[in-house]
Amino acid sequence: MTISIAYIADAGKGGFSPLPGLVLGVGLVALFFGVVRLAQSVLRPGERFDVGDDGLLHHTSRGDRFVPWDQVAGVREIGVTRSGDLAVWLGSGLRAVVVVRKGRNIRFNSLAGDANLLLWTIQQRVQGPGRV
């Protein structure tokens, strides 16, 4: 990195090549993505959702939390759903929150297995078929 900084400092002189700056830029972008994924793995290790007839079971490393369907007020998407492999890989493809009547809300994103199916299933369970 020190060599890249020294090389960029000499950019105004003859024989300048943008290659070290490009390498540095790609490295910083890769570092950013790595930090994001590391934070996600530390904050949500082993997270899983089980949908049953009685309610929603949210498994985390901190324990399990069961929410009966009559305590789920609804589920809504947060922000704009993005498409593309990179958005899904970073967990920003789909972000949603399960609104719980008594207790903390449960958030999930596209890192949850089949997040779109999870969102649809919760909506169907809470709203019922044919209700909006």
Split the chain (132 residues) into runs of 10 and give each run's mean pLDDT.
58 68 84 78 75 90 89 85 65 83 87 82 79 44
Q: What pairs with residue 56 in β-bridges?
A: 51, 67
Q: Give me the pLDDT at residue 60, please.
A: 83
Report the pLDDT value the prediction gives residue 9, as an integer from 0 to 100: 61
Distances (CA, A) of 29 to 23, 34, 59, 119: 10, 9, 32, 31
Q: What pLDDT sits at residue 85? A: 67
- Rounded Cα–Cα distance for residues 20 and 22 (Å): 5
Q: Which two tokens stand for residue 58?
A: 């949210």
Residue 66 has a pLDDT of 94
pLDDT at site 131: 45
Per-residue pLDDT at 57: 93
